[in-house]
């Protein structure tokens, strides 16, 4: 996927400029129907095309989390567009969004450089997340029932399955889904949006390919989700507090 190294396998995304465009309407050679013919079918709803930019943004985010886009490397929109099978425009727009999220930075006349994130920056993001999420979870632990928490168990179990596979991109999605579901119980949409943005930023890796150690770390993180859910269900506030401290510090 890197600039200058040739295109990698495409994702099948098309922006309308490739070979998979919407076929042109066929022109009938038959004579117009008479007024006495069967009535015309009701008008069809307008076709909603999927956002190519959104698909590319999701793919680039997954590539960042998986380490496929290497920190410090510069990637051009045309080269990435070729690898995805789209024009440079949706790629450039998606990269601009990633720049606002702090994942890449613009390099004039060259493209976008993946930001090299240090351990201190990731620790700071984890600390901020803890300051936002921990008080909310402790408050919810005092008020919600066991059934409320048990409804979230499938999400916690999904993080465990994703961790066992060892795919960082898959785990990242499952991880955020679990935390979003807990915070959504507070009924504050702005809280969920801000916390999820911070969570996403904290998931950009330091670089390098996945290792056995990284997989074990994902599995340990997922195990904390299950333990946290057990403590929340039991309204064990001291256990919840201890698990949250460990969870955010160990990220």
* pLDDT, tens digit, 9 for 90 and up, residues 93-116: 999 999 998 899 999 999 999 998
In this prediction, residue 136 has a pLDDT band, given cuts at 50, 70 and 90, of: very high
Bridge partners, residue 107, by sequence: 111
CA distance 220 to 218: 5
User: Mean pLDDT throughout 62-75?
Assistant: 90
Residue 132 has a CB neighbour count (10 Å cut-off) of 15
The average confidence (pLDDT) of the chain is 82
Structure tokens at 136: 């909310």
CA distance 230 to 86: 46
CA distance 94 to 178: 25
Whether residue 3 is predicted with pLDDT greater than 90 in this model: the reply is: no
CA distance 78 to 101: 21
Instruction: Please tell me the predicted confidence (pLDDT) of residue 249.
Output: 80
Greatest mean pLDDT among 40-49, 55-64, 196-205: 55-64
Whether residue 39 is predicted with pLDDT greater than 60 in this model: the reply is: no
Q: Which of 67, 69, 57, 65 shows the shortest CA–CA distance to 171?
A: 65
Instruction: Please tell me the predicted confidence (pLDDT) of residue 121.
Output: 87
In this prediction, residue 45 has a pLDDT band, given cuts at 50, 70 and 90, of: very low
Whether residue 152 is predicted with pLDDT greater than 60 in this model: the reply is: yes
- Which pairing describes strands 74-75 and 104-107: parallel, antiparallel, or unpaired? unpaired
Whether residue 224 is predicted with pLDDT greater than 90 in this model: the reply is: yes
Cα distances from 162 to residues 69, 121, 134, in angstroms, run 21, 25, 24
Instruction: Please tell me the predicted confidence (pLDDT) of residue 119.
Output: 82
In this prediction, residue 51 has a pLDDT band, given cuts at 50, 70 and 90, of: confident
Residue with the two structure tokens 């390919």: 209
**Phi, psi at residue 107, to the nearest 5°?**
-115, 105
Instruction: Please tell me the predicted confidence (pLDDT) of residue 197.
Output: 92
In this prediction, residue 82 has a pLDDT band, given cuts at 50, 70 and 90, of: very high
């Amino acid at each position: 996927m890197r600039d200058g190294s040739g295109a990698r396998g495409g994702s099948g995304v098309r922006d309308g400029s490739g070979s998979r465009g919407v076929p042109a309407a066929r022109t009938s050679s038959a004579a117009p129907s008479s007024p006495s013919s069967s009535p015309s079918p009701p008008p069809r709803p307008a076709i909603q095309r999927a956002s190519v930019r959104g698909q590319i943004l999701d793919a680039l985010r997954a590539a960042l989390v998986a380490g496929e886009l290497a920190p410090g490397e510069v990637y051009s929109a045309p080269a990435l567009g070729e690898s995805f099978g789209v024009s440079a425009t949706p790629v450039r727009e998606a990269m601009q969004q990633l720049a606002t999220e702090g994942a890449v930075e613009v390099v004039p006349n060259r493209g976008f450089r993946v930001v090299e994130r240090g351990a201190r920056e990731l620790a700071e993001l984890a600390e901020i997340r803890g300051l936002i999420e921990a008080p909310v979870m402790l408050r919810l632990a005092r008020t919600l029932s066991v059934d409320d928490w048990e409804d979230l168990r499938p999400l916690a179990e999904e993080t465990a399955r994703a961790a066992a596979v060892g795919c960082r991109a898959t785990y990242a999605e499952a991880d955020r889904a679990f935390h979003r579901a807990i915070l959504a119980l507070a009924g504050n949409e702005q809280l969920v949006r801000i916390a999820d943005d911070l969570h996403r930023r904290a998931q950009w890796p330091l670089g390098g390919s996945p290792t056995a150690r990284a997989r074990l770390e994902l599995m340990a993180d997922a195990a904390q989700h299950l333990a946290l859910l057990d403590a929340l269900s039991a309204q064990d506030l001291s256990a919840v507090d201890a698990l949250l401290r460990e969870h955010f510090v160990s990220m």
